[in-house]
Amino acid sequence: MADRAPKTLGAAATGTGRLPSVTFIIVDVDGVINVGISDRGAGALSCSTGNIAAAAAMKEEHRMQSQSAQLLLAVSKRQAEQETATYGELCKGLGQLADTYVRRLAEIIAAAKTQGKVICVLSSTWRTRNLAGVRTLQEGISKHLGEPWTFDTQTDSKECGTPSGRLENIGQFLSDWLATSVDTLDSIRVLVLEDFHITPLDGWKCKGKSMSSVQDVEAHLRECLPANMDVSTCLIHTFDSWMNEKGNGIVSIGCGLSLKHFHGAMDFLSCNVDAIEGLALKPSISSPAEDDASFLDEDGDFDRGISNCEGSGGHMFRM
């Protein structure tokens, strides 16, 4: 998908003062529509059904020597927050997209569309490095919505591969986009679905300011927008971490749109989750495919995410 120039909106004010003129939904993929696992500074491990099956199928002696395999199996067995399912169960789907998370993204989009114009923005590295995956995601969302759907636009493909680089790029996109539309809009909402390359909000800097909380990121995004505009911002930070079983290291993951994060997004949109049933979304895209792990060798040559972070603040782990 080629970069697109900012588009100018026509007047979209409702006149009631109750609904925003437009909602931006800014979507990362790795760690949001799937689960990625931080792996010693290498590319994020994909917690996919294929990788999990491959790790489980390894001979025990090889599996015990592979930290990546042990990590995959440990994460796959962990129950996600506010879920009855494990991460391994949530990750079922084709390729590197989790069916459950694709559906939840479709529900978020559908909910936002009931309240006015929606602009969906792709911020993921997939926008340049996995165009086939983007098409698959768009087809999945289309099937759930029951109508053709694509991303409206994307952030600049030239981006520093760090958490601050991602945040700066999103902020610049919003500034550029709204510079052409500020006179036609009453208010906007900005919903960002992002794991920042599997990185905690632990004080990393963006334009000289520390990002130590969701509120810090949301404040930064508001500062990128016109001061005279009614702006609401929300970061859904799809990040999770915990102490490993041995107690000698932290496991960090981009956990995807778990129920905790899905509910957070729906709360921001002021949409009751129960009301989703009335949006006539289509059934799940497909049943999980049979996993073929034959292309993975016994030493654990696992699939990894597209997005690599250069100098991430993410935690390392030991198994």
Q: For residue 186, what pLDDT is reported?
A: 77
Q: For residue 103, what pLDDT is reported?
A: 96
Beta strands in 53-138, from DSSP E residues, in sequence order: 117-122
Which helix (H) or strand (E) covers residue 253, if one does? strand 250-254
Q: Is residue 42 part of a domain?
A: no
Q: Is residue 81 part of a domain?
A: no
225: containing domain: 22-37+99-279
Q: For residue 21, what pLDDT is reported?
A: 77
Q: Is residue 82 part of a domain?
A: no
Q: For residue 293, what pLDDT is reported?
A: 34
Whole-number Å distance between alpha carbons of 256 and 93 = 13
Whole-number Å distance between alpha carbons of 137 and 151 = 10
121: exposed, middle or buried (Cβ count in 10 Å: 0-12, 13-18, 19+): buried
Count the domains in the chain. 1
Q: Is residue 126 part of a domain?
A: yes
Residue 253 phi, psi (nearest 5): -140, 150
Which helix (H) or strand (E) covers residue 38, if one does? strand 36-39
Q: For residue 272, what pLDDT is reported?
A: 67
What's the order of all strands across the beta sheet hosting 239-243? 42-46, 36-39, 250-254, 239-243
Whole-number Å distance between alpha carbons of 150 and 157 = 18
Whole-number Å distance between alpha carbons of 144 and 110 = 9
Q: Is residue 58 part of a domain?
A: no
Which helix (H) or strand (E) covers residue 101, if one does? helix 99-113
Q: Is residue 261 part of a domain?
A: yes
Q: For residue 167, what pLDDT is reported?
A: 98
Task: Output the CA–CA distances (angstroms, integers) from residue 157 to 125, 126, 172, 229, in the order listed.
Answer: 8, 10, 12, 27
Q: Is residue 210 part of a domain?
A: yes
Burial 203-242 (b: 16+ CB within 10 A, else e): ebebeeeebeebebbbebbbebbbeeeebebbbbbbbbee
Contact 44, 312 (CB under 8 A): no
Q: Which residues of the chain have pLDDT under 50?
A: 1-19, 283-300, 310-319
Q: For residue 303, what pLDDT is reported?
A: 66
pTM for the whole structure: 0.84
Burial 276-297 (b: 16+ CB within 10 A, else e): beebebeebbeeeeebebeebe
